[in-house]
Copies of this chain bind each other. A is one copy, B any other.
Amino acid sequence: MDTKKSIQKYLEELSSNLPTPGGGNVAALCGALSASLGTMVCNLTIGKKKYLDVESEMNELKQKLHPYIDKFISLAKSDNEAFERVMDAFKLPKETDEQKKLRSEAIEKSTFEAAYVPAEVIKNCREVITLLEPVSKKGNQNSLSDAGVAIAVIAAASEGAFLNVLINYSSLNEKQKASQLLIQSENLNNEVKEEAHFLLSEITAKIRGN
C-alpha cells in the first residue's frame, strides 16, 4: 500500500476488481484513521489552559498513540502482500502430482500468513482502544465526538480484521495450526467490541448531558 497515493486513486482501485486493496486493507486503514484521530484529540488538548492538569498525561498518550498510525499502515501493506502471495500460490502449475503437492503447500502457507496479518491488526486495535479511553475521558471535551468517532472506527477495524482472520482460517486444510490464532483474535475482537460499546454509550450520554 502506497500512502503517497491520493485518496481518490485509493477509492478507485478499491472499488475495482483489482486483487488489492481489499477488505483487510480497509480494516487496517481504519486502524490508522482511528489512531490519527485519537492523536488529534491529544493535540487539541495539549497547550489548553483548561486542561493543564492533564497535559503531561495527554503528551504521554499522544506519544503512545501516534506510532500506531504507521503500524496500521505497515499492516495494510502487509495485507496486500499476503493476499498477493495467496493469489500467486493459486496460479502455480498443477499438472503433476509433485506440482499439485507444492501448490497445495504454497496455498496453505500463504493462507496462514494471510490470517496472521489481520490477527496483528486486531492486537493493535485492542491496544489503541485502551489508549482512546483516557483520551475520550480526560481530553478536550469539545472534541468528545472526535474521540467517539475514533472509538467507532477502531471497532470497525477490529471486526473487519476478524472477518479476514476467519475467512483465511476457514480455507486452511490444517486448521489446528491456526486455531490458537483464531481464538486469540476472537477474544481480542470481542474485548474491543465490548469496550467500544461501553465507551460510546458513555460518550453519547455525556454529550446529551451538555
- A44 is an interface residue with CB less than 8 A from chain B: yes
From B23, B147, B155, A156 is in contact (CB under 8 Å) with B155
Tell me whether A26 and B153 are in contact (CB under 8 A).
yes
- A150 is an interface residue with CB less than 8 A from chain B: yes
From B66, B155, B204, A166 is in contact (CB under 8 Å) with B204
- A180 is an interface residue with CB less than 8 A from chain B: no
- A135 is an interface residue with CB less than 8 A from chain B: no
With contacts A26-B153, A33-B29, A146-B23 taken as known, whether A208 is within 8 angstroms of B40 at the C-beta atoms is no
Complex interface: chain B residues within 8 A of A17 (CB): 40, 43-44
Tell me whether B171 and A149 are in contact (CB under 8 A).
no
Considering only CB atoms, which chain B residue lies closest to A166 in the complex?
B207
- A15 is an interface residue with CB less than 8 A from chain B: yes
Tell me whether A23 and B37 are in contact (CB under 8 A).
yes
Q: Of A36, A44, A66, A73, which is in contact with the most chain B CB atoms at under 10 Å from its CB?
A: A36
With contacts A17-B43, A36-B11, A39-B15 taken as known, whether A160 is within 8 angstroms of B170 at the C-beta atoms is no
Q: Of A3, A23, A26, A204, which is in contact with the most chain B CB atoms at under 10 Å from its CB?
A: A23
Tell me whether A149 and B163 are in contact (CB under 8 A).
yes
| A51 → B minimal CB distance (Å) | 13
CA distance A40 to B19 in the complex (A): 10
A-B contact pairs, 30 of them (CB 8 A): A3-B6, A3-B8, A3-B11, A4-B6, A11-B32, A11-B33, A11-B73, A15-B40, A15-B69, A17-B43, A23-B37, A23-B143, A23-B145, A23-B146, A24-B145, A24-B149, A26-B149, A29-B33, A144-B163, A145-B160, A145-B164, A149-B159, A149-B160, A149-B163, A152-B156, A152-B159, A152-B163, A155-B156, A166-B207, A171-B210
